[in-house]
Amino acid sequence: MSDLPSPRHLAIRVVLLPKDTNAHGTIFGGVILSQIDLAGAEEARRWTHHSVVTVAMDAVEFHEPVYVGDVVSFWTRCERRGNTSVTVHVEVEAQRSGGARETVKVTEAKVVYVAVDRGSRKVALGEPPALSDRAS
């Protein structure tokens, strides 16, 4: 097991649409959670050749709302690589549409992924892919 000082990577960048809004007119939290999971899985795959599955999502904090038309970036960083699991920190920033186009941190979460084989059984991560495969 190791704690890894990993730089952050841009995993996903999206523009969210009216279909993604809740009753308050902001982007539904579940849409953001789904994208966090996708972004985190992309980072976890940098550290193993195996498929990964989500086993925990905790420390999810919503700081600011996301509005229709915001450009939302999902930044990931590997916090820990264990024997079978990878812990990923996901930070979500929104670039506001309109005049100033300010960027604000809207959400962050910690997500744990476990490597699995074709039978969905937990397996050791093994050697990570070559550094050139992990570079962004």
The tens digit of pLDDT for each residue in 45-95 reads: 999 999 999 999 998 999 999 999 999 999 999 999 999 999 999 999 999
Q: 3 pLDDT band (50/70/90 cuts)?
A: low
Q: What is the mean pLDDT of the chain?
A: 90
**DSSP secondary structure letter of residue 100:** S
pTM, whole model, 2 decimals? 0.88
Please return the burial class of 5, using the count of CB atoms within 10 Å of its CB with bins 0-12, 13-18 and 19+.
Answer: exposed
